[in-house]
């Protein structure tokens, strides 16, 4: 067997990339990570693109260097911050909700929990919890409680 060894270059670092539909950095359509560039997930410019799932078209992209230990948390933070249309926000919520400002947090919760998916009683309970988080100064314990009950 002949194995090809790939060595990490000294200046090579993991990155988070944020892809936008327009050149003025509006309409985020994907957030991803590239671990150690050569050895990890490849940069995927057309992720979730094609005929069956959304559009792979993008006009601009931001790449941010990131230490490997913070890669997942930073990816989750940018998914929650920019809310790409094809990505499941609840998958990333537990990892990075604590990095959002209260206004952003409430906005993400309102996107994740839409009334059509819940019974009337459940929605009243969920909406009451979201309003409580929105109005409370010390909201972090309420979010922990919310996660325990609904996620």
Each residue's pLDDT tens digit, 41-71? 555 555 554 544 545 567 788 888 888 888 8
Q: Note whether 150 and 130 are within 8 A (CB).
A: no
At residue 34, the pLDDT reads 78
In which residue are the tokens 């010390």 written?
138
| Residue 19: strand pairing partners | 30, 61
Strand, helix or coil for residue 74:
helix
148 secondary structure, DSSP code: H
pLDDT tens digit string along 24-44? Answer: 888 888 888 876 554 455 555
- Distance between CA 63 and CA 75 in Å, rounded? 11
Confidence of residue 84 (pLDDT cuts 50, 70, 90): confident
pLDDT tens digit string along 119-150? Answer: 888 888 889 989 999 998 888 899 888 888 77
Instruction: Give φ, ψ of 99 to 5 degrees.
Output: -90, -10
- Distance between CA 79 and CA 77 in Å, rounded? 5
Rounded to two decimals, the pTM is: 0.75
- Distance between CA 107 and CA 80 in Å, rounded? 10
Domain layout of the chain by residue ranges: 12-97, 101-151
């Amino acid at each position: 067997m002949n194995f090809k060894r790939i060595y990490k270059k000294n200046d090579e670092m993991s990155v988070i990339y944020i892809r936008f539909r327009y050149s003025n950095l509006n309409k985020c359509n994907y957030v991803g990570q590239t671990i150690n560039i050569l050895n990890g997930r490849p940069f995927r410019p057309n992720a979730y693109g094609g005929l069956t799932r959304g559009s792979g078209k993008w006009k601009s992209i931001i790449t941010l260097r990131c230490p490997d230990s913070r890669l997942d948390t930073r990816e989750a933070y940018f998914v929650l911050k920019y809310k790409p249309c094809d990505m499941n926000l609840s998958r990333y919520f537990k990892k990075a909700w604590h990095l959002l400002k209260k206004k952003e947090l409430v906005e993400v919760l309102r996107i994740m929990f839409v009334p059509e998916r819940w019974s009337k009683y459940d929605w009243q309970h969920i909406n009451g919890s979201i309003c409580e988080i929105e109005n409370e100064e010390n909201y972090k314990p309420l979010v922990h409680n919310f996660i325990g009950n609904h996620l």
